[in-house]
Structure 1
Amino acid sequence: MSPRRVTLAEVAEHAGVSRTTASLVLAGRARELRISQSVEQRVVEAARELAYRPNAMSVGLRTGMSRTLGFVSDTVATSRLAGDMIKGALEAAREQGLMLFIGETEGEADLERGLLQAMHDRQVDGIIFASMFTRAVKVPAALTAGPAVLLNAVPKRTSPLSSVVPDEVEAGRSAARVLLEAGHRDGIHLIGAGPRLRDVPPEALAGVQRLTGISEVLAGARVRIAGGHVCVDWQPEHGYEATRQLLEDTRPRALICLNDRLAVGAYQALDDVGLKVPSDVSVISFDDHPVASWIRPKLTTVALPHYDLGHKAVEVLLAEIDRNREGTPPRGETYRVSMPVRTRDSVAAPDA
């Protein structure tokens, strides 16, 4: 049997006020209605002492809000790499006294439609539509039925929905600056993409943006990218093969790998020919996958801010919910979250 729920009438009696006064105080309207500070304090203390919890259904009927949000993703919910994205969203929701319903589509269109409909059936106040990796998505029609935000995704076509994404262009700039500040001016090769902006795997939005930032900073320093090596997928075996082929023709001074998994493969290829990181070749990468701190030497990388992305998505969604209640159209902006550099042991000054 569940414990008996404390009622509003009991809180009012404990505080020595009317039920109406207790209700107004707990709804946050004490100042608006000029209820004295001492009465407000008595009600708040009584609610705390009695462990009072408002009835969510009653509050929803009164305010027109369910105090719940939906989080629909492709594979984020079961991905270890992006687990902090959900943690950030959960904590942001909790800070506002909201509950987050989470569902995963596994990339299946029918399951996606069903989950979005289920969220609307439960009358969530808004929905976060999340992707495991940064990409352009076709916005589902059901998503525009109420307030919604795209997380780690941008719309393929013009859309009123706002997006929360990592600042990949600035991340590319940061990676290039790390090498320049270490003294690298030549022999810089890219593993995974480049050197041209169109030299990226299909749908690799992050690749285009990272490459844009890298190229901008190096060009500004009058440093030429020595070469780029496109990989059809960004897995260790592809990084290994691209680096192995590079080493057949040249001796690089530095590698910018487009993600950490590629860097793992690059490490192995360098080791196979007796080259050491960072004394012979510096390596910098992106994402801050757990492997970046496991391999030796530890990998300097520009981190995906998963927690901050999730937290920011809830903040943006709440603002959109307020706009919707006011009858204001969605803002449709792109919010970019900074990606910090994790300085470790894989970058050093080039040898003489």
Structure 2
Amino acid sequence: MVKRRRVVLSDVAAEAGVSTTTASYILNGRADEMRIATETEERVRAAVARLGYRPNRSARSLRTRRTATVGLISDQIAGEQYGSSMLTGASLAARELDHVVVMGESGGDRELERLLIEEMVEREVDGVVYATRTARTVHLPEELQGTRCVLLNCEDPDRTLPAVVPDDEGGGRQAAAVLLEAGVEDVWVVGEDPTPEATAGPRRMWGVRAELAASGVALAGIVPCDWSVTAGFDAASRWLAAGGRAGGLVCMNDRVAMGVYQALAEAGLRVPDDVSVVSFDGSALAGWLRPVLTSVELPFTELGALAVRRLLDATDTGGTVSVPMVVRHGGSVRSR
């Protein structure tokens, strides 16, 4: 079998009837600068399409001092539903900008993270997205000093680095607003994040309190627990057994909400007839619960995409961008 010869730039030039230099100027975005006629540019791009020409990345990187690769270093996101969505968004955005993503996971191992960073730097990636599985504060590793970086799902309180995070406070406001619109004013929150570096829980709580306060309503109370199905069930069961009651519950994530659903059912309470429930995540789990859980969806695909776009935007001056969250309505909140 005869191997097909790779189409090169001179083939494109010959097909379009121009010099190789002219074709190079056009394909490197310098047509206007070199005052090349629009008709000539159109002929060259048509030739590219007909011949299936693809630029040689190695040659281009020598000219531009860019490798068309983006490094993504995380603690552990590829195996997680939400983390994999961030990775998908990052990869799609990179492809749109003619880049590819090279990824490494540290699993929280500091030494492995250092080695991954060294590998990215040696590859001369055009920048690094530093991502975390859960929203939290971080201190950028020293090995990344001097490398263009964007933080994904995290922030460094000591530096004004570009960072992309979900708008958890806005999400908290939306969760409370859903209950207020349904006429529910005795609102409790289920779940509390004790991790000092965590930002999602505190910000969601601020949002809930602020939205309630804007309507002259105080948060009725908090049922503290870790963010898991079992913890949600146990904490809600103890609270209900002690006489706890509420018109509406805001659960800190969908797993907590699943446990709360079970605890309410065992106490003979129905969702939403007796208790309205709102949560955060917008995960597949929310769609499996009956009634379908109303949940404020985390925009992980958008987060990953925006992080890469900011990384490759030479005009980006840094600072944190909070991506809005959207309410996915189910049947867990009563109608007025």
Which residue in 2 is equivalent to 1:104? 105
| CA positional deviation for 1:2 | 6.3
| CA positional deviation for 1:250 | 2.5
How many matched pairs? 334
CA distance in 2, matches of 1:65, 1:238: 49
Q: After TM superposition, list the pairs within 5 Å mapping 1:232-243 onto structure 2.
A: 233-243=226-236
| CA positional deviation for 1:82 | 2.4
Conserved 8 A contact 2:137-2:198: no
Q: 1:229 aligned to 208, 223, 227, which one?
A: 223
Q: 1:2-25: CA deviations, max 9, x gaps?
A: 642111111111111111111111
Q: Which amino acid aligns with 2:191?
A: G
Q: 1:219-272: CA deviations, max 9, x gaps?
A: 1211122211221x2101111111111112222211111111110100000000
CA distance in 1, matches of 2:3, 2:189: 60
Q: After TM superposition, list the pairs within 5 Å mapping 1:162-311 onto structure 2.
A: 162-186=162-186, 188-193=187-192, 200-231=194-225, 233-248=226-241, 249-311=243-305
Conserved 8 A contact 2:295-2:328: yes
Q: Which amino acid aligns with 2:116?
A: L
Q: 1:87-136: CA deviations, max 9, x gaps?
A: 11111111111111111111111111111111111111011011111011
Q: After TM superposition, list the pairs within 5 Å mapping 1:312-323 onto structure 2.
A: 312-319=306-313, 322-323=314-315
Conserved 8 A contact 2:185-2:248: no
CA distance in 2, matches of 1:162, 1:86: 18
Q: 1:40-76: CA deviations, max 9, x gaps?
A: 1111111211111111111111111111111111111
CA distance in 2, matches of 1:203, 1:64: 37
CA distance in 1, matches of 2:68, 2:16: 26
CA distance in 2, matches of 1:298, 1:2: 55
Which residue in 1 is equivalent to 2:329? 343
Which residue in 2 is equivalent to 1:326? none
Specify the SS of the correspondent of 1:60.
helix
- Structure 1: any 5+ residue segments left out of the alignment? 194-198, 324-329
Conserved 8 A contact 2:134-2:198: no
Q: Which amino acid aligns with 2:188?
A: H
Work out the percentage of aligned pairs sharing the same amino acid: 44
Conserved 8 A contact 1:184-1:349: no
Q: Structure 1 residue 46 and structure 2 residue 47: aligned?
A: yes
Q: Which amino acid aligns with 1:312?
A: L
Specify the SS of the correspondent of 2:81.
coil
Which residue in 2 is equivalent to 1:332? 318
Q: Which amino acid aligns with 1:190?
A: V
- Structure 2: any 5+ residue segments left out of the alignment? none
Q: Which amino acid aligns with 1:173?
A: R
Specify the SS of the correspondent of 1:271.
helix
Which residue in 1 is equivalent to 2:116? 115
TM-score by length of 2: 0.96
CA distance in 2, matches of 1:274, 1:3: 71
Specify the SS of the correspondent of 1:102.
strand
Q: Which amino acid aligns with 2:229?
A: P
CA distance in 2, matches of 1:276, 1:99: 49
Conserved 8 A contact 1:201-1:230: no
Q: 1:173-223: CA deviations, max 9, x gaps?
A: 00000000000122x211113xxxxx8454331110000000011112111
Specify the SS of the correspondent of 1:302.
strand
Which residue in 1 is equivalent to 2:61? 60
CA distance in 2, matches of 1:192, 1:149: 30
Of the structure 1 ranges 301-310 and 239-248, higher mean CA displacement relative to structure 2 is found in 239-248
Query: In structure 2, do the counterparts of structure 1 residues 345 and 122 end up closer, same or farther at CA, with 3 Å as the change threshold?
Result: same
| CA positional deviation for 1:160 | 3.7
Specify the SS of the correspondent of 2:250.
strand
| CA positional deviation for 1:349 | 4.2
CA-based RMSD of the aligned residues comes to 1.5
CA distance in 2, matches of 1:39, 1:331: 37
Specify the SS of the correspondent of 1:174.
helix
Query: In structure 2, do the counterparts of structure 1 residues 123 and 3 end up closer, same or farther at CA, with 3 Å as the change threshold?
Result: farther
Specify the SS of the correspondent of 1:76.
coil
